[in-house]
Chains A and B, each alone.
Chain A
Amino acid sequence: MLLSGSQDGFMKCFDLRKKESVSTFSGQSESVRDVQFSMKDYFTFAASFENGNVQLWDIRRPDRYERMFTAHTGPVFCCDWHPDDRGWLATGGRDKMVKVWDMTTNRAKEVYCVQTIASVARVKWRPERKYHLATCSMMVDHNIYVWDVRRPYIPFATFEEHKDVTTGIVWRHQHDPQVLLSGSKDSTLYQHAFKDASRPVDRANPEGLCFGLLGDLAFAAKESLMGGEAGRKPGYPGGDRRYPIFFFKKPDVTEQFAQVSSVLSVFEAPAAGGGGGGGGGGVGAGSRMDWFVDTARLYLLSGKPFADLCDHNAKVAKQLNRPQVSTTWTMLRIMFSEPANISSSTNHLMSKLGTLPPLLNSFSMKELSSGLNERNKESRQDNIHSLETNINNNDVENEETEGSEGQAEYVFGDAELDDDDLYSMEHDNQTEEPEYTLPQEAFPLRHEIMEQPSAPELLEKAESPHVSGSEAESICLTSSESISLISVSQLLFPPHLPPTFFGPVVKEMLAYYAEQGDVQMAVSVLIVLGDRIRKDIDELTQEHWYMSYIDLLQRFELWNVSNEVIKLSTCPAIGCLNQTSTTLHINCSNCKRPMNNRGWICDRCRQCASVCAVCHHVVRGLFVWCQGCGHGGHLEHMGSWLRDNTHCPTGCGHLCEYT
């Protein structure tokens, strides 16, 4: 028996024993695209039509179809009965869908639907695999897909050999699920072995991960990855150790393709994260971005004398538990202050140093030092170290100095201590053991030495890798009676030293901050120092910092700060950020005519246009107005008015809307 369907809408059944068709079935609709005998019922066949319908016929009754249903929108190109007589019929159409229908019920019920990426030309159930079917397309897509209908979104396997449209597919043997034959317009015939198929799901990414702005972390992962196998060793043969080995039936991994889903979770950094942006902290602490927002809000960048700005910012940084930044601000103040302020500021520094929280580890010392001349800082750090370690530093030079100095109560850090030594010390401190605390009494405030003639010499020498102990000594000795650490710090900032001296050092420090991801500090210092440092840093770098910082501020929706930074910046490229694509058209709120002169008096109605509708005073600063009637006033006045009223305060009758 052979069944045929034709474009004329008729189907004919041929019995090969006769020379003519046995019976003709009229679909009474458009052309027939496919006919298939049912596996379950010898007499039943399905026919699919151009108009999206599928008809079921009994071969013994040519006058009328048994039932008809609409399967697809657009032509149904193919249909295939499930080989294991389950009454399942798969249909594929131009709407890119493959649908599986349960024909055993009264009404055909759609049990599965697979969405493919191109119109479906052929569909063939895979032998011996209940839920698998193969499809190919008639245009665009040359691949053959094998789907698991239970997971209708990702093809289980694909064959990508054909270079042109695949015209036909068939499974090689009724009971062999491994071999598929396909023909194509590229005039090739392929016999595919299933093990050669590519598995898109293997390449599909099972996880998504994204850092949020505030340091929270969104993570989506395949459910099975979350299970107990997280600790699984690599290369452990597929399977689960939880089951005893004798129950272990090796599952055919290649055929496992059950439904999967993902778990989505958001890890939120704790609110009280310690804010340790620079200092670092626990797992959560470093990732939380509050410190950035707070710092941006609280920093003062202009409007006060330089020293006050620095002091303020140092205080802010300290409050936010960022000692090293705080110290940097203090040092900047000292370095660039007017000579008259020097002594007081130095005192200030020292008291600051003295009161630094025990947290101050050598990390921050290093930071701090990058603001200073390298050498100076090292020697000072030595001081601190030697003080901390109760002067039992085994450095010979140290002892010498001590001996020769006589009057000195505190041993000087010796400039000759090796770099290596120094760094190794820093390493030690780094390893999170409890930091040395700075004993406050180690910094008694002696009276200051205002003039130190040999200071420049020291500074010059400091550039050279070795300052001999004797030189250091001589300096010490020239400075009067009892020399304390403080007097050394003093030596570093002699009043006659021009601020420009520090330019390269500060530049280096800013670059360091920027590279550590704290562009905020770089830009803030840049603005506060203004002309003192600007010429030392090339324009392009400055612009880059500004851009980065402004971008960050805008991310955090700190528009006011961002605007202030733009205003205070000196880069022409940044300054014009605010000017681009901003035009103001001003109309008088009384007479609705355009205002054409400068100022806020309308020259037609001779009234001030910017009067608050509530308090009738002229508004300076933020003026908010209703887009509908044009009346408005002080932001807070309008706010309080609109809490109780919906109409415009001028009594114009307009129902004001503020968004």
Chain B
Amino acid sequence: MFVARSIAADHRDLIHDVSYDFHGRRMATCSSDQSVKVWDKSDDGEWHCTASWKTHSGSVWRVTWAHPEFGQVLASCSFDRTAAVWEEIVGESNDKQRGLSHWIKRTTLVDSRTSVTDVKFAPKHMGLMLTTCSADGVVRIYEAPDVMNLSQWSLQHEISCKLSCSCISWNPSSSRAHPPMFAVGSDDNVTYTGKVQIFEYNENTRKYAKAETLMTVTDPVHDVSFAPNLGRSFHVLAIATKDVRIFKLVPLRRETTTTSGPTKFEVQVMAQFDNHNSQVWRVSWNITSTLLASSGDDGCVRLWKANYMDNWKCTGILRGDGTPVNGTSGQAGAANTTGPSGTLASQAAAGGAVSAGRPKAQLMPG
């Protein structure tokens, strides 16, 4: 079982995001209190806050780390309609001794006219690129042409998603067979459309074009996350909406290399779980993409794992304050999940692309 270690975060309002760095030694939190805190893990496993500073003049929605090759760099985005890039300054030795570090703002990206809801660095092999998405439905991709100069970012792409965006996730695959691709989720609750869109870079037009819309996801989406692609030929995408969903995107082989259109995907639902019984806010993959964690309004973290048959099952439930959930995780999880996962597995096996608006009841156990 997991050991819960509680940390006195001392944020004065809600924490909206936590993010580990590349090596898992540092953690950043951001909060509505307009500040970001950086935590370092000491050798004894304790987390110490080494920096805390006011980043924005509004709620900070997300914080994310850049690849360490570019230095110790954070990006944050906020309700105040900006995204910012921060870099840690090493030097001042007396700061170090006190266990504090100094972060300075390298740039503020002010292009959005509404709240910036998510910010993500693109995979490292694409260079130093930053993507933001905002409540007015625009995804912006910035690039720092000189990786040594973090104060210069040029706006490379502006992609309109038509729907208010809430989250974005890059496909981490570094294979040359996979063009750059990202998924955008929308928390729009007015229109009845697919809320997850997938955009792909087209080498010929040098633009991002929509490759796919997941039409089955019609409820507001709070988080999307591509699984780390460790040499896979297909992509796995987890979605947090009113339930947890796992999609598999299998790129279909192109007949000829000259076709300029975006890659076609065969979309399969691998799993769908409503065990949270409420809105799901976050999904996160472990590093080998064998384990998915989700958290929902029930205040619990649930862990999902696939067996060798690609049946996803709940392998654990963690209460946020570390108290165990009544009844063993195995019982609760297994009892609730076997139904839907079994059904879905058979459907996935049948290879049918999922049709839009499939009635939910069909998937419920019992």
By a beta-carbon cutoff of 8 Å, the part of chain A in contact with chain B is 96, 115-117, 151, 153-154, 200, 203-222, 225-227, 229-234, 259-270, 277, 280, 282-284, 286-287, 289, 292, 363, 366-367, 427, 430, 511, 514-519, 522-523, 540-541, 543-545, 547-549, 551-552, 555-557
Contact = CB atoms under 8 A, between A and B. Distances in A.
A391 to B, nearest CB: 27
A208 B287 contact: no
Nearest to A511: B233
Given A222-B299, A287-B303, 7 more contacts: A116-B58, A211-B284, A212-B27, A215-B287, A287-B291, A541-B231, A548-B230
Interface of B: 1-9, 11-20, 22-24, 27, 29, 31-34, 45, 47, 57-59, 61, 79-81, 115, 124-125, 166, 173-177, 187, 222-223, 228-234, 277-278, 281-291, 293-301, 303, 305, 307-309, 315-316, 318-322, 325-326, 329
Nearest to B61: A205
Contacts of B318: 217, 219, 267
A191 to B, nearest CB: 22
B34 A551 contact: no
A549 B231 contact: yes
B20 A218 contact: yes
B286 A555 contact: no
Contacts of B307: 280, 363, 430
A117 B300 contact: no
A264 B295 contact: no
Contacts of A518: 230, 288
B335 to A, nearest CB: 14
B330 to A, nearest CB: 9
B3 A220 contact: no
Contacts of B47: 266
A572 to B, nearest CB: 12
Contacts of B79: 117, 154, 200
B2 A217 contact: yes
Given A219-B318, A283-B315, A225 B297 contact: yes
A117 B56 CA distance: 9
B282 A117 contact: no
Contacts of A516: 290, 308
The winner among B8, B14, B175 for most chain A CB atoms within 10 A is B14
A204 B18 contact: no
A519 B2 contact: no
B1 A282 contact: yes
A284 B175 CA distance: 31
Nearest to A551: B174
18 contacts: A153-B33, A208-B282, A210-B20, A212-B24, A216-B24, A230-B299, A230-B325, A232-B277, A262-B11, A264-B9, A265-B322, A267-B5, A267-B318, A268-B5, A283-B1, A515-B233, A516-B290, A517-B230
Contact of B231 (A200, A216, A283, A514): A514
A117 B286 contact: no
A104 B309 CA distance: 72
A117 B231 contact: no
B22 A555 contact: yes
A184 to B, nearest CB: 16
Contact of A209 (B18, B33, B231): B18
Contact of B299 (A221, A259, A366): A221
B277 A234 contact: yes
Nearest to B58: A117
Contacts of A287: 286, 291, 303
Task: For the complex of A and B, list the 5 residue pairs with the smallest distance between their C-beta atoms, beginning with the closest.
Answer: A213-B24, A283-B316, A544-B175, A225-B299, A262-B15
Contacts of B31: 262
A497 B11 CA distance: 68
Contacts of B320: 219, 221, 225-226, 263, 265
B222 A205 contact: yes
Contacts of A217: 2, 284, 293, 301, 318
Given A117-B81, A207-B281, A541-B233, A517 B298 contact: no
Contacts of A367: 308
A522 to B, nearest CB: 6
B231 A261 contact: no
Given A266-B47, A289-B288, A557 B231 contact: no
A561 B300 CA distance: 38
Nearest to A228: B299
A367 B277 CA distance: 36
Contact of A219 (B1, B234, B295, B325): B295
Contact of A206 (B14, B124, B288, B291): B14
Contacts of A215: 286-287, 291
Contact of B230 (A214, A218, A514): A514
A109 to B, nearest CB: 20
B34 A153 contact: yes
A260 B80 CA distance: 20
Contact of A266 (B5, B8, B229, B295): B5
Contacts of B277: 232-234
B278 A218 contact: no
Given A210-B20, A217-B293, A544-B174, A267 B301 contact: yes
A268 B305 contact: no
B60 to A, nearest CB: 9
A616 to B, nearest CB: 34
Contacts of A218: 18, 20, 27
A519 B231 contact: yes
B96 to A, nearest CB: 12
A515 B232 contact: yes
A225 B298 contact: yes
Contact of B187 (A203, A289, A543): A203
A596 B11 CA distance: 58
Contacts of A541: 175, 177, 231, 233
A204 B61 contact: yes
Contacts of B326: 231
Contacts of B14: 204, 206, 222, 260-262
A284 B3 CA distance: 9
A264 B284 contact: no
A557 B23 contact: yes
B284 A209 contact: yes
A117 B57 CA distance: 6
A259 to B, nearest CB: 8
B80 A117 contact: yes
Nearest to A269: B2
Nearest to B287: A213
A416 B287 CA distance: 41
Nearest to B274: A234
Contacts of A154: 13, 32, 59, 79
A264 B59 contact: no
B45 to A, nearest CB: 7
Given A267-B2, A518-B288, A547 B16 contact: no
B122 to A, nearest CB: 14
A212 B39 CA distance: 13
Contact of A211 (B231, B293, B319): B293
Contacts of B177: 540-541, 544
A371 to B, nearest CB: 15
Given A153-B59, A220-B29, A262-B11, A208 B6 contact: no
Contacts of A151: 13
A588 to B, nearest CB: 30
Given A153-B59, A270-B3, A522 B231 contact: yes
B175 A292 contact: no
B18 A544 contact: no
A204 B315 CA distance: 28
Contact of B173 (A230, A265, A544): A544
Contacts of A212: 20, 24, 27
B1 A284 contact: yes
Nearest to A267: B2
A523 B288 CA distance: 14
